[in-house]
Amino acid sequence: MFKKMKNLLPLIILPTLLSGCINLGGVNYKQAHMLKKEGFTLTDEGWALGLPKRILFNFDDAKLTKVDSDNIKNLAYQLKQYHLEHLKIIGHADDIGNELYNIKLSKQRADHVAVIFYNNGFNTEDIQTIGKGSSQPFILKKDRTSRASNRRVTIVIVP
């Protein structure tokens, strides 16, 4: 009997050890799977909305398109279903204009996105909005297309 237990012991211990090696960024497997499906990637800050579903803005504007608003509503629904309700929403701007203005504009962008989450059942104390201005460009080039990619909001899941 002891010999059989001795043979089974590695099978019991190995999965436990391996599960400790997997970094899911403070979320469980089901949550991580849903986040990946929605376009999030695990970063140093947490799970951040990745490139396929970036939220971009027009020049000097903090308003969302109807399509982006609807996508954020759907995302809010998915996050609520998986109990992922603590968010950091970070607004960004391109490098044109005064940096203080760009910080204010990027904060407005983050706030506009946050309102959609609030309207879909998220609590104000669970969402932090930040305006980074042009301090963290996604693309360093100075052409129109690159600048447009820098006018964005990043949504980060806070476990």
3-state secondary structure the chain: CHHHHHHHHHHHHHHHHHHHHCCCCCCCHHHHHHHHHCCEEECCCCEEECHHHCEECCCCCCCCCHHHHHHHHHHHHHHHHCCCCCEEEEECCCCCCCHHHHHHHHHHHHHHHHHHHHHCCCCHHHEEEEECCCCCCCCCCCCHHHHHHHCEEEEEECC
Stated pTM of the model: 0.79
Taking 80 as the threshold, does the pLDDT of residue 15 lie above it? no
Phi, psi of 97 (to 5 degrees): 95, -175
**pLDDT at 22 > cutoff 70:** no
* Domain ranges, ordered by start, for the chain: 24-157
Mean pLDDT of 117-129: 97
Q: Per-residue pLDDT for 133 more than 80?
A: yes
pLDDT of 14 higher than 60:
no
With a cut of 70, say whether residue 13 has pLDDT above it: no
Name the more confident of 112 and 51: 112
In CATH terms, 24-157 corresponds, of 3.40.190.150, 3.40.50.1110, 3.40.50.11900, 3.30.1330.60, to 3.30.1330.60
Residue 51 has pLDDT above 50, yes or no: no
Query: What was the pLDDT predicted at 4?
Result: 57
CB atoms within 10 A of CB 106: 29
| Confidence category of residue 49, pLDDT binned at 50, 70, 90 | confident
pLDDT band at 17 (very low <50, low <70, confident <90, very high): very low
Torsions phi, psi of 41, nearest 5?
Answer: -130, 150
> Does residue 52 have a pLDDT over 50?
no
